[in-house]
Amino acid sequence: MDYISLSVTFILLGAVGIYFTHKQAYQKGITDAVLMHRQGRLKYRDYLDDNGERMVDIEIEPIDEDERNK
């Protein structure tokens, strides 16, 4: 293989790896958010900023020591 083909191959392999890593992290993040919301640890409020854009203020309460040891 010449240098260009080898470079393109590694770039494509890297892009595929990044895609699947991002997809897995996104799914885990959504799952965590749903569980925190169900447990009452995820608090949020929406508001409009100075430019009229909708924003979200998110607060996550820490895990109690009793829950951590379960």
Amino acid at 35: L
Per the structure, how many domains does the chain have? Answer: 1
pLDDT confidence bin for 64, thresholds 50/70/90: confident
Residue 53's domain spans which residues?
A: 3-68
pLDDT confidence bin for 65, thresholds 50/70/90: low
Closest CA to 33 of 6, 60, 67: 60
Residue with tokens 């900023």: 49
Q: What is the pLDDT of residues 22-59, one digit of tens each?
A: 999 988 988 998 898 898 899 989 999 999 999 999 99
Q: How far apart are CA 34 and CA 55, in angstroms?
A: 19
Q: How far apart are CA 40 and CA 35, in angstroms?
A: 9
Residue with tokens 């929406």: 46
Alpha helices in 1-70 (DSSP H): 3-39, 65-68
